[in-house]
Amino acid sequence: MRPRASSLALKQAAAAAQQQPAAQPRPGRPPSVSTQAIIEAALDIGLDKVSFRQLAERLDVNVATIYRYVRNRAELLRLAAFQLTLNRRMPEAAHAHWSQLAMRYAEEMFESFLKEPELVAELLRGGIGPHVEIDVLDQFLGAMAPHGFTPEEALVLHRAVGTITIGAATGVIALRNREAAGKPWHVEIRRTLVERADADLPNVRRAISAYLEYDEWHWLQPLHQMLAGIAAERGEELPPPQRRLARLLSVTAKAAVLSPKEQPAKTGKRNAG
């Protein structure tokens, strides 16, 4: 039987790490540790704050032992990203519409990045390559095939979903970081409007209520619109929205029925304080 891709990748990473010069192990019985154990410990600690010393303490080994399996932090993040993508399997839904599968896939990807924001930073640095995503990509293409998608068409869909989702995750992580730094985004927006003349930014001021009502899952709506466009090209209609998307569309619909006078558009210096 051919080894699974995940086992091969982890073994190759371990073999490469073992070729590097390593410190002598501490006396006594050799510690029981593996690349997989290191990755699981790192995910448990949290990739945004994990250190090799913490890993050594968690696994009851010395730091030199960790370096035998993982050469540096960048490699640790790549292996952890690979593990997370393997955990992010396509949703099991035999009778689901292809758009629902794509939507759930996007939601799980988004949640993975929010849980481990360091992965986004590593992705932007170019440290996470196609080898990390290839197994999940193959599952995605296979899941779309029964719905009439060719591999090429499913690949286009996968790229579009990934572009929207990764962009959304990056934006939310940035907003959370601003909040943690004591610079909330909505406060900065209000301060900017106060500092500018009343005649400046007229279009933003008219839309300020919706602008400030930020939902971390807002990106589901443009994703849904994109999927609806693909469905229209295929002569299909999307099924009724579900879960978070249904809630978002409901909120948007309620806001749309308000008249311009009812919209709190006068958000100049009085409301921006």
Q: Using the predicted structure, report yes or no on whether residue 271 has a pLDDT greater than 70.
A: no
Q: Using the predicted structure, report yes or no on whether residue 267 has a pLDDT greater than 80.
A: no
The pLDDT value recorded for residue 25 is 42
Question: For 123-138, what is the mean pLDDT?
Answer: 76
Three-state DSSP string of 149-205: CCHHHHHHHHHHHHHHHHHHHHHHHHHHHHHHCCCCHHHHHHHHHHHCCCCCCHHHH
d(Cα 160, Cα 256) in Å, to the nearest integer? 27
Per the document, the length of the chain is: 273
- Top pLDDT among 92 and 181 is at 181
For residue range 148-163, list pLDDT tens digits in order.
999 999 999 999 999 9
For residue range 189-242, list pLDDT tens digits in order.
999 999 999 999 999 999 998 888 888 999 999 999 999 999 999 999 999 988
What is the SS3 assignment for 268? Answer: coil
Percent over 90 (pLDDT), the chain: 44
Question: For 154-177, what is the mean pLDDT?
Answer: 95
For residue range 71-130, list pLDDT tens digits in order.
888 888 878 877 776 666 666 666 789 999 999 899 988 998 898 888 888 788 777 767
Quote the crossing angle between the two packed helices 52-59 and 35-45, to the nearest 10°: 110
The pTM (predicted TM-score) of the whole model is 0.68
The pLDDT value recorded for residue 118 is 82
The pLDDT value recorded for residue 110 is 92
Q: Lowest-confidence range among 117-121, 130-134, 141-145?
A: 130-134
The pLDDT value recorded for residue 1 is 45
Question: For 33-52, what is the mean pLDDT?
Answer: 88
Q: Where are the alpha helices (DSSP H) in the chain?
A: 5-18, 35-45, 52-59, 63-69, 73-87, 98-115, 118-124, 130-144, 151-180, 185-195, 202-206, 208-212, 220-233, 243-256
Mean pLDDT of the chain: 80
Amino acid code (one letter) for 247: R
